């Protein structure tokens, strides 16, 4: 039998990985699946409980993470210094902390960028 960290009193439950996790104030953690080496960097859309993001940079020497931070900064309208890869620096599945923007606004901006938001609702068939 395995126990989650929540049951051990650490406040974490890795069985549930929300797309967005609200932190204190205007701070959010995004759960992402990143595909490096794409033709073009873009927010693709949802991937299960995560957001799928493609970056053109290869997964070498942290270049894909840098491209991810750059793309998220532009998409969310925040400075690079407000973004931090919390977990998964060497993996496709990552959690990125965003300071200065709340979960609702992050969700809205990612949806619009992926073509799922209100700006594109009339264009869908």
Tens digits of residue pLDDT in 57-112: 999 999 999 999 999 999 999 999 999 999 999 999 999 999 999 988 999 999 99
Entry pTM:
0.75
Domain boundaries, the chain: 20-116
CA distance 106 to 84: 15
Tokens 């931090």 sit on residue: 84
Burial class (CB in 10 A: 0-12, 13-18, 19+), 98: buried
Query: Domain 20-116 is classified in which CATH homologous superfamily?
Result: YggU-like (3.30.1200.10)
Q: How many helices (H) and strands (E) does the chain have?
A: 2, 6
């Amino acid at each position: 039998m395995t126990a989650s960290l929540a049951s051990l009193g650490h406040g974490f439950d890795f069985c549930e990985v929300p797309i967005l996790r609200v932190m204190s104030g205007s701070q959010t953690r995004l759960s992402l699946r990143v595909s490096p080496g794409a033709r073009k960097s873009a927010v693709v859309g949802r991937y299960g409980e995560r957001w799928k993001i493609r970056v053109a940079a290869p997964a070498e020497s942290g270049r894909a993470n840098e491209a991810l931070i750059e793309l998220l900064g532009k998409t969310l309208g925040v400075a690079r210094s407000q973004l931090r890869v919390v977990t998964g620096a060497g993996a496709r599945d990552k959690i990125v902390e965003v300071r200065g923007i709340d979960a609702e606004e992050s969700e809205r901006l990612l949806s619009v960028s992926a073509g799922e938001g209100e700006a594109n609702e009339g264009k869908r068939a």
